[in-house]
Structure 1
Amino acid sequence: MLCTMAQNPDVMGEDGVKAAVAAIKGESLGGKVTDTGVSVITKDGAQAGGAPAAQAADTAEVKASQAWKIALITMDSIDQHWVTLNEGAQAEAEKLGVTVTFMSPNTKDDAQQIECVNNAVAGGYQAIVVAANGPDAISSALKEAASAGVKLVYVDSPANVDAEATFSTDNEAAGKTAGEEMIKALEAAGITSGKIGIVNVNAATDSTVKREKGFRSAFEGKGYELMETQYGEGDAAKSQTIAENYITQGVVGIFGCNEGSTTGTGNAIKASGNANIIGVGFDKSDAIMNLINDGYLLCTMAQNPDVMGEDGVKAAVAALEGQDQGGKVTDTGVSVIKK
């Protein structure tokens, strides 16, 4: 025989039990399907015992042969989501004996993110773990980095450039869950029609665009009017102004597509004094948790940025060690957090 396709049944067993426990605890997994990977084992691999090839799809088994330099570039360095992602990346870097430098822009800005990518290449970093601000804006810079031999791994939001692997939330499914949670709360209050506002970041960021798409899909065939989306660039103050404008138009619900959008939405509902408006959002921060506990937000879709950071670094090291991960996309999960 020339070769065999080696699956990872141990990973299936481990992840299956993890998912079962999460479901028992009340976490909504959304029926997600996760690729547990496969490796090609040829004569050379079999002679070596098969283990290295069989483990190729499980980046947790990879050990760094040297102190690789990895750049972590997220959309900004302020949102708690990105801070937590960096913490996960740093913890994994310490385990593997590699260096991860958090070199993200201060704010969501394409030019600043491009500069970060260029600085990483110029600084001799061998891999870049990146959350792209948009699918196209930084593509040219990432292509140049790849041409220079830099390995690319996406976390949270990909760009339109091939990468070793992507670790992100199934944003469309999570957005639909957010819509379903809002509908349940509205119907429980006897509200079966009315205007719904949507506060998004911009019209380009892959993750938040998919969240909005999923949210809108939940309302198909329902008696609600989804208003034109307004963009606050992920800034809490700008998002609050947008949400306040929605409130003056008599909305019954508002959806925030990311941390800043959600914080702004909750603050606007709080300032209005109308706790009957249903606010639903995305991401988890101290401010968002306080707004939920105080009754100004119904719930938030909490991602797992620490897992994105950990798995992103694992994948980067695996790529640098010569493992082909085939551009796999892994759903890092989401939970619905209520009061």
Structure 2
Amino acid sequence: MKRKLLAMVCAVSMIASLGAATVYASDDVKATGDEKIALITMDSIDQHWITLNEGAQEEAKELGVTVDFMSPNTKDDAQQIECVNNAVAGGYDAIMVAANGPDAISSALQEAKDQGIKIVYVDSPANVEAEATFSTDNKAAGTTAGEEMKKALEDAGITSGKIGIINVNAATDSCVNREEGFRAAFDGTDFEIMETQYGEGDAAKSQSIAENYITQGVVGIFGCNEGSTTGAGNAIKAAGNADIIGVGFDKSDAILNLIDDGYLLCTMAQNPDVMGSEGVKAAVKAINGEELGGEVTDTGVSVITKDSDK
């Protein structure tokens, strides 16, 4: 029963193949039109993943290939593994995946690879060699987030104090690197980076964590992903204390509104649409025999503030 339920969760949307004729993308990627690619992200709810899927679908339409978005509805290892198993059973040629954690999904991905399915990582990798990876340089972006917070605090005359971090979990590669980079920005300062708390990327849970940080007198809060950032901003808003510096990751309508209203200083906006489109190109190349060498491509990040052109 559980297996059937998970399978239903994973089958989210389908895009039909546009035919068997060879087509070409702008950079001359060749496709037969028969290629089937499964896109499995951490969940199907965060705007980050929706935008990544939109980029993938645009490229799929350009190439005339099939990309099926079959992600779980929440960040859950068992559901993500089930999605991989469904892709294998469904005869897909490639799997584009943003791993919820580097280890939990690895056995399922290795089994898929052993059956000749090409693996391409988008956003966050697992511990299985892939054809290519398209992601943010998360450690560098985390350091940028830390520098933005540190500058804002110093501009306010604050050179010491407690800072809280809300992360998704202790395993997700991308978010772990963001936290590491953020902490590095405060090396050698008088600020105290508190023990990280985990909200599983859920905005409500993250808000509760942030509210607890606020009661402990923090001067800043860092959110490591969309839900964490939204929760932090909502907690600062609820406390009515815009003096607390909130910095986060990802771009959503909720986050942009919190920035515009002054409850978040800024967010590190990734380019998930680029991850999606480049991931499809790489998957098609790999399916058709091109060796990609496991190259990792940095898809970039921008700092969005109240004054940014959004």
Aligned residues: 282
Partner of 2:220: 253
Structure 1 residues 49-85: Cα deviation after superposition (integer angstroms, max 9, x where no partner): xxxxxxxxx9932110232110000000000000000
1:285 to 247, 252, 255: 252
Structure 1 residue 204 displacement after superposition: 0.0
Partner of 2:162: 195
Q: Counterpart of 2:79 in 1: which secondary structure? A: helix
Residue identity (%) = 82
Q: Counterpart of 1:187 in 2: which secondary structure? A: helix
Partner of 2:231: 264
Distance 2:268 2:173 in 1: 17
Distance 1:60 1:234 in 2: 36
Partner of 1:185: 152
Distance 2:26 2:45 in 1: 29
Unpaired runs of at least 5, structure 2:
1-24
1:147 to 110, 114, 117: 114
Contact 2:251–2:268 under 8 Å retained in 1: yes
Partner of 1:243: 210
Distance 1:90 1:77 in 2: 14
1:330 to 287, 297, 300: 297
1:97 maps to 2:64: yes
Contact 2:88–2:112 under 8 Å retained in 1: yes
Structure 1 residues 99-125: Cα deviation after superposition (integer angstroms, max 9, x where no partner): 000000000000000000000000000
Structure 1 residue 277 displacement after superposition: 0.1
Distance 1:165 1:113 in 2: 20
Q: Counterpart of 1:224 in 2: which secondary structure? A: strand
Structure 1 residue 130 displacement after superposition: 0.3
Distance 2:53 2:274 in 1: 10
1:306 to 261, 264, 273: 273
Partner of 1:296: 263
Distance 1:72 1:120 in 2: 9
Correspondence 1:1-339 to 2 at 5 A: 60-339=27-306
Structure 1 residue 321 displacement after superposition: 1.1
Contact 1:59–1:315 under 8 Å retained in 2: no
For the pair shown, which has the larger CA radius of gyration, 1 or 2? 1
TM-score after normalising by structure 1: 0.82
Q: CA RMSD in A?
A: 0.9
Contact 2:71–2:83 under 8 Å retained in 1: yes
Distance 1:205 1:66 in 2: 34
Distance 1:231 1:312 in 2: 29
**Which amino acid is the alignment partner of residue 145 of structure 1?**
A
Contact 2:165–2:223 under 8 Å retained in 1: yes
Distance 2:104 2:301 in 1: 27
**Which amino acid is the alignment partner of residue 123 of structure 1?**
G
Distance 1:153 1:312 in 2: 6
Contact 2:223–2:249 under 8 Å retained in 1: yes
Unpaired runs of at least 5, structure 1:
1-57
Distance 2:36 2:84 in 1: 14
Q: Counterpart of 1:296 in 2: which secondary structure? A: coil
Distance 1:107 1:59 in 2: 34
Contact 2:33–2:63 under 8 Å retained in 1: no
Structure 1 residues 192-250: Cα deviation after superposition (integer angstroms, max 9, x where no partner): 00000000000000000000000000000011000000000000000000000000000
Q: Counterpart of 1:243 in 2: which secondary structure? A: helix
TM-score after normalising by structure 2: 0.90
Structure 1 residues 2-28: Cα deviation after superposition (integer angstroms, max 9, x where no partner): xxxxxxxxxxxxxxxxxxxxxxxxxxx
Contact 1:73–1:104 under 8 Å retained in 2: yes
**Which amino acid is the alignment partner of residue 206 of structure 1?**
D
Q: Counterpart of 1:60 in 2: which secondary structure? A: coil
**Which amino acid is the alignment partner of residue 298 of structure 1?**
L
